[in-house]
Amino acid sequence: MSDEPRILHVLHVGPDVETTGGMATVIGLLARAPGTGVRAATAATWAPSARDHGLGAAIRLVAGLAGRGGRRPDWVHAHLSEGGSFLREGAVLLIARALGIRTAATLHGARFLQFSSRHATLVRLVLRSCSVVFTLGPHAAARVSALCPDTLVRPVLNPVDMAELATAPLPTHVADIVFGGVVGSRKGVDRLVAAWPSVRRRHPEATCLLCGPPGDLPLTDLPDGMRYAGSLARSELLGVLGSARVACLPSRDEALPMFVLESLALGVPVVTTPVGEIDQLGEEQGVALVDGDPARLAATLGDLLADPARRAEWGRRGLAWAQENCSVEAVGRALTTSYRAA
């Protein structure tokens, strides 16, 4: 008889992997993670075009699980943000658990701490149904442990496809500073716009490119040297980001955004704010943490632009850290270890 552990069948539940967004990217990567002793599939319970907010998809998924009999997965792993996610994917977890399927959840939401304070009963009900809860960092982990002290909690980073990043195409746009995300106040674009004239006074030829869908800020009167590229295809954004000197995300509210992780995995130093789980990063990972003050943001960006040796060293640190901690292979192994231990 073989001593190899049997393959685990895991169903990842959450946003449609064909849509854009960090959670969809994560689910797609985990579904094809190599060599982890897991055979993964995905089930979409939400898409931007869904008029019923994913209710129909969740009902169909639950009906399918109930009717599978011996073909049920070993694990249902739901990817949760806040709000309707805890009702929709939360219901899937509760019913899967009632059917005898082991359940796991990953918490991706930027506002999980606030949401769990306002809706503690709902959050406790859903997370208690899980054999293991994965968080992106220590803050969410502490909150889950406080709400559900008997539930196993494991901090695990989102995965990054290092092979995909290594083959990113040549950039269609080139800029010294690149921002990626919804171009609005939550992501701190107003802070970057306010800081930019000071950066340009130190570096008159510096350029900044804003990449992403429009948010709640006007984009018609940007300062000199700053351009809006719109929403780029994923491969195009990776090419642009890989050619940048610095990535910048001065957000007001985040969990642990893929833009930061992918920048580090491309060897690009990051300037960002210590919000959500980002504050577990620092100079050892090639990250400069600044508050939202435009003057301090401008000073940090200007200092990095002026110091190519420091940028190169930080880029090496970020790449090494990403390879060790958030490659698809590393994250896949961490999840599989937790599935088997739970």
pLDDT confidence bin for 70, thresholds 50/70/90: low
Measure CA 225 to chain center.
29
47 and 90 in a single domain? The answer is: yes
111 and 176 in a single domain? The answer is: no
Report the CATH number that the domain containing residue 79 is assigned in CATH: 3.40.50.2000
Considering the domain boundaries, does residue 1 fall inside one? no
pLDDT confidence bin for 107, thresholds 50/70/90: very high
3-state class percentages of the chain: helix first, strand second, coil last, to nearest 5:
45, 20, 35
Considering the domain boundaries, does residue 3 fall inside one? no
Average pLDDT over residues 15-28: 89
136 and 201 in a single domain? The answer is: no
Asked if 242 and 265 touch (Cβ cutoff 8 Å), the reply is: no
pLDDT confidence bin for 36, thresholds 50/70/90: confident
pLDDT value of residue 50: 77
Q: Does 49 have pLDDT greater than 80?
A: no
Strands 132-135 and 208-211: unpaired
Q: Does 245 have pLDDT greater than 80?
A: yes
Asked if 125 and 90 touch (Cβ cutoff 8 Å), the reply is: yes
Considering the domain boundaries, does residue 22 fall inside one? yes
- Please choose, from the candidates 328, 314, 329, the residue with its C-alpha nearest in 3D space to the C-alpha of residue 264: 314
- Please choose, from the candidates 161, 97, 128, the residue with its C-alpha nearest in 3D space to the C-alpha of residue 332: 161
Asked if 88 and 58 touch (Cβ cutoff 8 Å), the reply is: yes
12 and 72 in a single domain? The answer is: yes
Angle at 95 (CA atoms; ends 90, 96), nearest 5 degrees? 95
Give the global pTM.
Answer: 0.91
Residues in the chain: 342
pLDDT value of residue 52: 81
Distance in angstroms between the alpha carbons of the first and the last residue of the chain: 25
pLDDT confidence bin for 187, thresholds 50/70/90: very high
Helix ranges (DSSP H) in the chain: 22-31, 55-67, 84-98, 112-118, 120-128, 138-147, 162-166, 189-202, 234-242, 258-265, 294-305, 308-325, 328-341
Percent of the chain with pLDDT over 70: 98
Q: Does 80 have pLDDT greater than 90?
A: yes
pLDDT value of residue 47: 82
pLDDT value of residue 274: 98
129 and 188 in a single domain? The answer is: no
Of 70-74, 230-234, 251-255, where does mean pLDDT reach its minimum? Answer: 70-74
Percent of the chain with pLDDT over 90: 84
Q: Does 1 have pLDDT greater than 90?
A: no
Residue 115: C-alpha distances to residues 24, 131, 339 (Å): 21, 21, 27
pLDDT confidence bin for 69, thresholds 50/70/90: low
pLDDT value of residue 2: 55
Considering the domain boundaries, does residue 119 fall inside one? yes
321 and 332 in a single domain? The answer is: no
Average pLDDT over residues 50-60: 84
Q: Please provide the average confidence, as pLDDT, over all residues in the chain.
A: 94
pLDDT value of residue 51: 78
- Report the domain count for the chain: 2
pLDDT confidence bin for 4, thresholds 50/70/90: confident
pLDDT value of residue 263: 98
Q: Is 244 helix (H, G, I), strand (E, B) or coil?
A: coil
DSSP-derived letter for residue 35 is: S
Task: Tell me the residue range of the domain where 292 lies.
Answer: 163-325
d(C-alpha 93, C-alpha 329), whole Å:
26
178 and 260 in a single domain? The answer is: yes
- Please choose, from the candidates 172, 154, 155, 136, the residue with its C-alpha nearest in 3D space to the C-alpha of residue 257: 136
Q: Does 210 have pLDDT greater than 60?
A: yes
Q: pLDDT tens digits, residue range 166-179?
A: 999 989 889 999 99
- Please choose, from the candidates 87, 125, 85, 122, the residue with its C-alpha nearest in 3D space to the C-alpha of residue 107: 85
d(C-alpha 223, C-alpha 227), whole Å:
8
Average pLDDT over residues 271-299: 97
Residue 46: C-alpha distances to residues 67, 78, 91, 108, 289 (Å): 21, 12, 13, 15, 33
pLDDT value of residue 74: 96
Considering the domain boundaries, does residue 96 fall inside one? yes
147 and 172 in a single domain? The answer is: no
